Amino acid sequence: MSYFARKIGFLLIVLVAVTFLAAALIRLLPGDPATVIAGASGATEEELDQVRADLGLDDPLPVQYVGWLGDAVQLDLGRSYISKLEVRDTISDRAPVSFQLMLYAQIITLLIAVPLGVFTAYKAGTRFDRTANGITFAFLSLPNFVLGFLLIYLFAVKWNLLPASDYQPLSDSIGGNLKGLLLPALSLGLGQVAVYSRLLRVDMIATLQEDYVTMAKAKGLPIRRVLWRHALRPSSLGLLTVVGVNVGSLIGGAVVVEQVFQIPGVGLGLIGAIQARDYIVLQGLVAFVAIVYVLVNFSVDVLYAVLDPRVRHARASAA
Amino acid sequence: MNSPSTRSSRPAPVSLGPPDPTLPLLEVDGLATHFLTERGMVKAVDGVTFSLRPGQTLGVVGESGSGKTILARSIMGLLPPRNVTRTGTVRFAGHDLTAMSERELAHVRGREIAMIFQDPMTSLNPVLRVGRQITESVRHHLGMSAKAARAWGTELLDMVGIPAPGLRMDDYPHELSGGMRQRVTIAIALACEPKLIIADEPTTALDVTVQAQILDLLQELQASQGMALILVTHDLGVVAGRTDDIAVMYAGKIVEHAPTPALFAQMRHPYTEALLRSIPKLDDASHTRLETIPGRPPDLVAPPPGCRFAPRCMLVQDRCRTELPELTAGGGSGHRYRCFYPVGTEIGEAARARNEAGATPAAASASTASAPRSSMASRVSTASESDGSRGH
Ligand SMILES: Nc1ncnc2c1ncn2[C@@H]1O[C@H](COP(=O)(O)OP(=O)(O)OP(=O)(O)O)[C@@H](O)[C@H]1O
Ligand code: SF4
Ligand SMILES: [Mg+2]
């Protein structure tokens, strides 16, 4: 079996396992969706039973799950008990928002972390290296929401430079969109600068010992060209993997940041669904997040091969 | 061969004038490179002095660890950024390289002095195409256009004997064999038509059959381009027929330096003599590190106080253990050596005879040439014990 076929088979197993676990865990939450749906405390026991039967909540979990899965593979994720909106539509409304937030966060993080990693590697052991280390780790130790409130306090309240909570869709205003998402993206990403830059630094230091780097210097290339052209790419595989895998922790962080800045993304939707015991919405969103997570990791793998011709070569001959 | 400068879109920035054949191209004077380590100061290169005329070839020979690579890198200023001290001067075409900033040096490296590394498996960047790696120095130094540089790179690959050079330009290094890769690194070194190439054991990592081809190629190109060449090797046999001069290194110092014919006609230093005897047979695995001379090179943190070779020397006398011999001229024709009791001289052979007769503890056993390995080893260990166990 080819490398990619095996990989895809594995992905499918992961997806089923994750969504099943999500379905099981959701039912452990205290509270009964039937009461929420039937109108809080006023409903009689019969009315509640009726609601449960309608929704299939009486069926054993495996039966419910298989039913959901059967619909899900046909891209039917059901409707919210409460808003009656299609879960699919909720996702297509909210996902782009979260996606932008995470994308901006990754971009900002990489824009800071890559040059920092390159130069701290080049200047390893110097005061610059130690200072950068200290500052980035300080940011890493701040929880997202603390960083979020701090940024709101400084940029929105004190200096009045950026809005505390003003999400605008990209289609309305590019500037407004960027402005509204800048602080959230910073709160989400700044902590990761330490992770990315330190990781790149370590790999870069190893690469700088390589003969081909000395060779590049022996050619008389300026040091920035040696660093950026010869040393960065062979050093970036570890970083790339972590950037990909980190999407997972970013998703977790995004839930918090969306809450802090009231950004209508998947994270805010998840929180809303949990509060309302809206099982169907919750399960749909969790399945969506799992798919995204798994696909991101898959793409990281593919990108790996693009970045390093040796991997490409090894895979071609192994397949 | 078309010159890269005739193809360039803008004239080459002439950083250093054309070499005057009557003046030395390279003058290395008292060059010393010491590494600060936890164990102490490693004197990897310890006062090396020599000079090279334009177009001249010099073989630098020594065992593993004698400081050849560090010497080569010290000349080009390619040393680790920290915990290193380099003293002495390196003058290239009259300019002191040791006084230059990194930026100034960058105009010399690749453009005026190029380097070929020991292992072509590690000296090419795995993620960049061969063509890019060949052309980037002419693009940078000579400002050649991408198109001209590509044509020139293809021509260079052809020149170093790579078949279908146009196609190979787009290969990645891992797609080429070791011999082909070393040809690529030679092409890279030639790209800017430098005045000096330093080849650091360019064939050690290659198959025996490929070794001779690469060395022949280097020699041919050196002659046709009129470049000076420093050929570093641990194998005296490699440089025997290929270089004008030979410098033999031991423990960071040159111990014998002579025109090649003079050296082979009459080698003066006991270490050179021992090296000659250790030239590998054709069937030996040639990339294994040679240690055929009994005993080990000295600890470079605490070398023997007198002659560095004393613990292993067949001719050693008491004086050698306390006094460091200078590199002095002898026998005319630029023959210099660092020994109190040179091989083939009256006092040298008298010393040998004394040792063979058992007059000193260093010569516990019989004839040097026919002594079995074990007896040599025991003699060496006796010598270092009587030496007060310096080193290790
Ligand atoms: N960065 C360093 N720090 C400390 N010691 C070093 C360093 N680099 C080299 N040395 C030491 O310097 C000495 C000379 O090394 P060098 O690489 O020049 O030897 P060589 O003659 O090229 O040997 P080989 O034939 O194995 O290539 C060795 O003893 C080595 O251990
Ligand atoms: S004879 Fe003395 S000086 Fe000459 S190499 Fe041997 S030990 Fe050194
Ligand atoms: Mg070496």
* pLDDT 10s digits, B49-61: 999 999 999 999 9
Question: What range does the domain containing A232 cover?
Answer: 87-318
Sheet containing strand B95-96, edge to edge, reads B40-52, B26-37, B84-92, B95-96
Looking at mean pLDDT, say which of B73-77, B218-222, B363-367 comes out highest.
Answer: B73-77
Neighbours of B272 (CB within 10 A): 23
Q: Name every chain A residue with its beta carbon within 8 A of the beta carbon of B105.
A: 220
| Residue located via tokens 């004997």 | B161
Chain A contact for B188 (CB, 8 A cutoff): yes
Of the listed ranges A54-68, B84-98, B275-289, the one predicted with least confidence? B275-289
Q: Is the pLDDT of residue B334 over 90?
A: no
List, for residues A17-55, the tens digit of each pLDDT value: 888 888 888 777 776 667 766 665 566 777 777 777 777
Q: Which of B248, B255, B320 to mutate to test the pocket of ligand 2 (most atoms within 8 A of CB)?
A: B320
Q: What residues contact A174, with CB distance under 8 A and at least 6 apart? A: none
Chain A residue numbers touching B103 (CB-CB < 8 A): 222
In this structure, what DSSP letter does residue A156 have? Answer: I
Q: Is the pLDDT of residue B373 over 80?
A: no
Q: Which amino acid is at B207?
A: D
Which residues of chain B does A212 touch, with a Cβ-Cβ cutoff of 8 Å? Answer: 122-126
The count of domains in chain A is: 1
A300 touches A240 (CB < 8 A):
yes
- CA B103 to centroid of ligand 1, rounded, Å: 26
**Is A232 a member of any domain?**
yes
pLDDT at B302 over 60: yes
Among A148-162, A186-200, B351-365, which range has the highest average pLDDT?
A186-200
Indicate if the pLDDT at residue A266 is higher than 80: yes
Residue B386 has pLDDT above 70, yes or no: no
* Distance (Å) from CA B63 to ligand 1 centroid: 11
C-alpha span between B331 and A282 (Å, rounded): 94
- The Cα A169–Cα A266 span in angstroms is 15
**What whole-number distance in Å separates Cα of residue B33 and Cα of residue B35?**
7
Torsion of CA A50, A55, A61, A62, to 10 degrees: 130
Atom 7 (ligand 1): residue with closest C-alpha? B35
pLDDT of residue A1: 57
In a mutational test of the A interface, the residue from B103, B111, B125, B133 whose CB has the highest number of chain A CBs within 10 Å is: B125
Q: Which amino acid is at A307?
A: L
Q: What is the mean pLDDT of chain B?
A: 84
Q: Do A219 and B188 touch (CB under 8 A)?
A: yes
Chain A interface residues facing chain B, Cβ-Cβ under 8 Å? 125, 210-212, 214-223, 225, 229-230, 233-234, 307-310, 313
Across chain A, mean pLDDT equals 85
Please give the structure tokens belonging to residue B368: 């040097």
Task: Please give, one letter per residue, the 3-state secondary structure of chain B.
Answer: CCCHHHHCCCCCCCCCCCCCCCCCCEEEEEEEEEEEECCEEEEEEEEEEEEECCCCEEEEECCCCCCHHHHHHHHHCCCCCCCEEEEEEEEECCEEHHHCCHHHHHHHECCCEEEECCCHHHHCCCCCCHHHHHHHHHHHHHCCCHHHHHHHHHHHHHHCCCCCHHHHCCCCHHHCCHHHHHHHHHHHHHCCCCCEEEEECCCCCCCHHHHHHHHHHHHHHHHHHCCEEEEEECCHHHHHCCCCEEEEEECCEEEEEEEHHHHHHCCCCHHHHHHHHCCCCCCCCCCCCCCCCCCCCCCCCCCCCCCCCHHHCCCCCHHHHCCCCCCEECCCCCCEECCCCCCCCHHHHHHHHHHHCCCCCCCCCCCCCCCCHHHHHHHHHHHHHHCCCCCC
Contact assignment for A223 to B136 by CB distance below 8 Å: no
Average pLDDT over residues B130-153: 95
Is A221 in contact with B110 (Cβ distance < 8 A)? yes
Q: Is residue A108 part of a domain?
A: yes
Beta partners for B84?
B35
Q: Which domains does chain B have, with CATH numbers?
A: 4-243 (3.40.50.300), 268-386 (no CATH)
Q: In the beta sheet, which residues pair with residue B228?
A: B196
Indicate the pLDDT class of residue B8, thresholds 50, 70 and 90. Answer: very low
Per-residue pLDDT of B231-260, as tens digits, reads: 999 888 888 888 999 999 999 999 999 999
Least-confidence region, from A24-28, A128-132, A157-161, B368-372: B368-372
Is a pLDDT exceeding 50 seen at residue A229? yes
Residue B359: pLDDT band (50, 70, 90) is low
Q: Which residues of B219-247 are buried (b: 16+ CB within 10 A; e: fewer)?
A: bebbeebebbbbbbbbbbbbbbebbbbbb
Three-class secondary structure of residue A1 per DSSP = coil
Helix (H, G, I), strand (E, B) or coil at A79: strand
Q: Is the ipTM of this complex over 0.90?
A: no
Q: Which residues make beta-bridge pairs with B33?
A: B45, B86
pLDDT at A36: 67
Any chain A CB within 8 A of the CB of B125?
yes
Report pLDDT for A41: 57
Contact A310 B172 (CB under 8 A): yes
Segment B206-214 mean pLDDT: 83
Q: How many CA atoms lie within 13 A of B130 on its CB side?
A: 28
Confidence category of residue A74, pLDDT binned at 50, 70, 90:
confident
Query: What are the percentages of helix, strand and coil residues in chain A, rounded to 5?
Result: 80, 0, 20
Does residue A234 lie within any of the structural domains? Answer: yes
For ligand 1, say whether the CB of B80 is within 6 Å of any of its atoms.
yes
Please give the share of chain A, as a percent, with pLDDT higher than 90.
Answer: 36
Q: Which residues of B are less than 8 Å from A217 in CB distance?
A: 78, 109
- Phi/psi of residue B29, each to 5°? -130, 110
* Predicted local confidence at residue B170, as pLDDT: 95
Q: How far is the CA of B201 from the centre of ligand 3 (A)?
A: 7
As a whole number, mean pLDDT of residues A133-160 equals 90
* Ligand with smallest separation from the Cα of B314: 2
Distances (CA, A) of B307 to A18, B313, B360: 73, 9, 16
Q: 0.80 exceeded by the pTM?
A: no
Instruction: Answer yes or no: is A142 within a domain.
Output: yes
- Collect all residues of chain A within an 8 Å Cβ-Cβ radius of residue B126: 212, 234, 308-310
Residue B365 burial class via C-beta count within 10 angstroms: exposed 0-12, middle 13-18, buried 19 and up: middle
Verify whether ligand 1 is closer than 6 Å to residue B43 (CB atom): no
We report the CATH number of the domain holding residue A214 as: 1.10.3720.10
Q: Does the beta carbon of B66 sit less than 6 angstroms from any atom of ligand 1?
A: yes
- The arithmetic mean of pLDDT across residues B295-313, rounded, is 90
pLDDT of residue A38: 67
pLDDT for A29: 73
* Chain B nearest CA to A138, separation (Å): 28
pLDDT of B379 over the 50 cut: no
Closest CA to B72 of B44, B43, B101, B111: B44
- For residue A87, give both structure tokens: 């879960």
How many Å apart are CA A32 and CA A39, to the nearest integer?
12
Q: Are B277 and B267 in contact (CB under 8 A)?
A: no
Residue A319 pLDDT greater than 80, yes or no: no
Name the pLDDT band for A219 (thresholds 50, 70, 90).
Answer: very high
Nearest to B63 by CA among B303, B342, B289: B289
